[in-house]
Structure formats: structure tokens, C-alpha cells
Structure 1
Amino acid sequence: MPSFTQTAGAALAVILPFVLAGTHDTCPNTTSVLSCSGSSTNTCCISSPYGLIQQVQFWDTDPVTGPDDSWTIHGLWPNDCDGSYSENCDSSRAYKDITTLLQNAGEDDTLSFMQDYWLSNDESDEAFWEHEWATHGTCYSTLEPSCYTDYETGDEAVDFFVATVNLFQTLPTYTWLANAGITPSSSKTYKLSALNSALESAFGAPVVLLCENTNEVYEIYYAFNLQGDVATGTWVPASNEDSSTNCPSTIKYLPKS
């Protein structure tokens, strides 16, 4: 399990260990620069222009996806520091067959985790992974092929999926809510402010919850700034630039049943 580090009065920083698919160039003298707080011509080492990165999770109840005691992965989305973003940044790297790509890189554990926790509710899981990589993964400046030594096709996509899985494992939304006495129920309702408070306290920065069917919570956005590159950097919790929610003040947190 990746580890947390925290300094007094500072936001929680997440330092992630990685098994790299390829060899990302080292980033000396740049990892102290936090994305969205500085600039550099070396965009292999500083995520630019998309330095606000959101780890997005689902709580799917109809149809159900994933374990009944865990949220699941939606994706890892790079956004500009003002909340704007681009998608599908390089169609030439819209890889197919993510399963084989991960297997060939020796990332069987990552793939196995994705098969349990990165699931689609309306298409094949493989198609979902391909979409998330093509739509969002190709927009990371630090994952450009030119950022790699001895690059082989797909190295950067493997790093994207490993990073997303490892980061998700540091964000146990279900557990954080349960620790605050907030558990799924078909009869109870909860104050949105109670969920926000519990999650912000555990995460170290405000989160954004979204609802469907008017008042049923189903999605969460965690935001980060990044020191270094996606493959080896340090993730620092941040506030979402767009903090709006479509949830009412009282919501349902339905069980997966």
C-alpha cells in the first residue's frame, strides 16, 4: 500500500512507489516546484499546462460495479489551473488492448486490481480503460514519449494506469465515510455537509461530491497538484477549481444491492 506523509500545518502529500514500464527521464531540481505554482520549459518534469489533477471515483448502485465496501475508479483527469481542460490530445497514442499492454509490461497486479475496482457500468471494461487513456491520459505533458529514455510504444500508458491505481489506493472513500459513521443505507439520509467534512478531514483538502436521480451520491472528485512527473512524483492534495455540486443539502448514500 502506498504511504502518506504529512507535515504540521500542511496538506497531506502522497508519495507513491512505482514499477515503471519504461525509463522516465530523471527530474533534478524541479520536483520542488508544485504544478500550478510555477512554470518551466521542462514539461516532462512539471505538469503543464494541466497542473490540477483530479482522481475521480464512482459509487455505482444501478447497475452495481465493484465491491460493496469500496468506491471504484473513474479516472485521473488533468485540468488547467483555472479548471479548464482538453481531451483526446494525441490520437496517435489512443492505444487499444490495455490488458495486453499491462501484461507485457509485467503489471499483472495492476491489471488484476483494475478488474476489481476500475469497472464500467455501460460498456466493456477494456473499452472504458481505452477511453480514459485516450481522453485524459494523452494530455499529460509528463507522459509524452519524449520524456522517456529507451522509449517503447505504450510505456507512458502503463505508467498512467499504475499511477491511477496507486493513487486510488490512498483514497479509501468508503472507509473514511464509515469512520465518521456514514455508511450506505436504503432508509437513512445524510447531510451533504457531513460527508464533505469527513472526507476533507481525512484527505486534507475539500472534495466535490456529485449526485444522480436528484439526491443519490454517486461520484467524488479529489484534486491534487503534482511535484514532478506522473510516474514518480509526489501528489499534494488541493482544492478543486470548480467546487460546485449538483447535490442537495440532504442526500442518500444507497447500498450496492
Structure 2
Amino acid sequence: MKARGLIDLYSPTPKLLHMAKSGCSFILVELLLLLQCLSHLGHGYDFFYFVQQWSSSYCDTKRSCCYPTTGKPTANFTIHGLWPNYNNGSYPSNCNKNSPYDGTKVSVLFSRLQVNWATLACPTNNGTKFWSHEWEKHGTCSESVLDQHSYFEATLHIKDKVNLLQILEAAGIRPDDNFYNVEDIKEAIKAGTGYAATVECNSDPSKNAQLFQIYLCVDASGKDLIECPVIPKRKCNSSIQFPIF
């Protein structure tokens, strides 16, 4: 009887089993959340959107634009930004208030930035405000991988590798005010880069849909193009204008 009592004492009851299972489930959830957090600790993001814009479409709106202090930019796509993102569709921003933009860290890149990452905001300026915004909102979130100089240099390097205007013109798609099928634009970029792109449009004062921005994706190192883990939601008509600049 004594031995049987000991067995009964250490045998789990249905209530204890339920509590144990509930506890295990809770611990499992906590571990999954911890693993999710740890997956971002290495660099704080999963990939980048690399975004280029067509200057004419930026200017050809009711808002209009101002040319930078260096004068009218060349008729080409220019950089909007390199934006860290998560695979779940969200993104980090303004990650380090203690790391403001410092022009001395990118001074050797200044002439390249003025050409390839030109500002069109008003009033006319030299681009510093634009680059400061991009670094502080987006660049600081990749700081564990790319310091300030490396962030801008990496973005310029990607731009050198992805000549969108050349790719489109080779496919017969030119900035001539004519209208082109969006799918043809996407196919041309896919053929030219090896990766799918997202096209974003805006409207001119006459409400014509026009080619505005192109999104491609870059791996977390900031070096290589990849297929986008998440497709940005951008709307376009099936036929859009490619305006002259």
C-alpha cells in the first residue's frame, strides 16, 4: 500500500498533464518569438529595396520641382534610396538618432552623388538635405552592416550596375512622351537585370499615368540583386507614359 501511494503521488493527473502541455505551448511560442527577434539581430533587416526615379515624372506634377544648384540633371534615372525591409512586409526606420548625417564621411562621393542621387526638391539646394534624410531614416537601420560612407558607396555601386535607361532603350522603350505597356517595361528590366521589378506611377497635371519609380531588391549585404521577398504594392495603369526630360 505504501509503494502504491508513492506511485499515485508521482503519477500525473489529467489536470497536471493539461497544465504541462499549456506550459510547453507557452514556452514554444516564447522561443519562436525569441528566434524571430534573434534573426534580426545580425543586421536589423532582411533585404533592401533599391529605388530609382525618373526625374521628368517627379517634376511633371502639380507639385513641380526645382533643379539642384548644379543645374538640370542629365536625362536618366536617379537614385531615390536604398531602404531596409523585413520579409514580413514591414520596415525599420530612424534607427539611430545618435548617428546624424555627416557630409565629411561622404565628401569623396559628393560629385557622384550629385549626378546619380540628385535632389529635385524645392527650394534649390545641393542635395545635402535629401541625403541626410535618406541616411537618418533608412541608412541608420543598416548601420551594423554598412557605415555611413559604405551605405552611400554601396548604393552608387548598385546604380552603376543597373542602368535602367539603357536597358529600356535597348528594348525600344524610350523617354519620348509615348505610352508603353507596363508589362513590357517589367519584361525588359527582367531581361536586362535577371530580376523582377516593380513599377510605380504618378500622374501629370493632365492626369496621364506616367512612369515614376522602379523597385528592385538587394540582399542584406547591399551588394547583389535578389528576387524581392515582398512585392511592394504600387498601382499603375496597363499603359503609361514615358515623358521626355
- The answer, yes or no, to whether TM exceeds 0.5 is yes
Partner residue in 1 for 2:141? 139
CA contact (8 A) 1:77 1:136 kept: yes
**1:199-210 mapped onto 2 (5 Å cutoff):** 199-210=189-200
Deviation of 1:51 (Å): 1.3
- TM-score, structure 2 as length reference: 0.71
How has the CA–CA distance of structure 1 residues 141 and 121 changed in structure 2, closer, same or farther, with 3 Å as cutoff? closer
Q: Is 1:93 the equivalent of 2:99?
A: yes
Partner residue in 1 for 2:50? 55
Deviation of 1:101 (Å): 2.4
CA contact (8 A) 1:53 1:224 kept: yes
Partner residue in 2 for 1:195? 185
Q: Matched residues in 2 for 1:197 and 1:248: separation?
A: 16
Q: Is 1:81 the equivalent of 2:90?
A: no
Partner residue in 1 for 2:233? 244
Larger RCO, structure (CA 8 Å, separation 6 or more): 1
Q: Which runs of 5+ in 2 are unaligned?
A: 1-37, 60-64
Q: Matched residues in 2 for 1:134 and 1:178: separation?
A: 35
Deviation of 1:244 (Å): 2.9
Partner residue in 2 for 1:152? none
Partner residue in 1 for 2:224? 235
Aligned residue identity for 2:217: A
Kindly, what percent of the aligned residue pairs are identical?
26
Partner residue in 1 for 2:114? 115
Partner residue in 2 for 1:255? 244
Q: Residue 161 of structure 1 aligns to a residue in which SS?
A: helix
How has the CA–CA distance of structure 1 residues 58 and 240 changed in structure 2, closer, same or farther, with 3 Å as cutoff? farther
Deviation of 1:53 (Å): 0.7
How has the CA–CA distance of structure 1 residues 127 and 243 changed in structure 2, closer, same or farther, with 3 Å as cutoff? closer
**1:201-220 mapped onto 2 (5 Å cutoff):** 201-213=191-203, 215-220=209-214
Q: Matched residues in 2 for 1:196 and 1:41: separation?
A: 31
Q: Matched residues in 2 for 1:173 and 1:240: separation?
A: 21
Deviation of 1:93 (Å): 0.4
Q: Residue 144 of structure 2 aligns to a residue in which SS?
A: helix
Partner residue in 2 for 1:102? 106
Instruction: Provide the alpha-carbon RMSD of the alignment.
Output: 2.0
CA contact (8 A) 1:206 1:239 kept: yes
Rg larger for = 2
Deviation of 1:126 (Å): 0.4
Q: Matched residues in 2 for 1:112 and 1:132: separation?
A: 17
Q: Matched residues in 1 for 2:232 and 2:100: separation?
A: 30
- CA displacement 1:189-216 (0-9 Å, x = unmatched): 1101100110011122211111111511
Q: Residue 231 of structure 2 aligns to a residue in which SS?
A: coil
Structure with the largest fraction of helix: 2
Aligned residue identity for 2:176: S
Q: Matched residues in 2 for 1:215 and 1:180: separation?
A: 20
Partner residue in 1 for 2:131? 129
Q: Residue 168 of structure 1 aligns to a residue in which SS?
A: helix
Deviation of 1:243 (Å): 4.1
Q: Matched residues in 2 for 1:206 and 1:41: separation?
A: 25
Q: Which runs of 5+ in 1 are unaligned?
A: 1-38, 145-155
Q: Is 1:181 the equivalent of 2:175?
A: no
- Greater mean alpha carbon deviation, residues 126-135 or residues 59-68: 59-68
Q: Matched residues in 1 for 2:232 and 2:40: separation?
A: 30
Q: Matched residues in 2 for 1:40 and 1:82: separation?
A: 13
Alignment length (residue pairs): 189
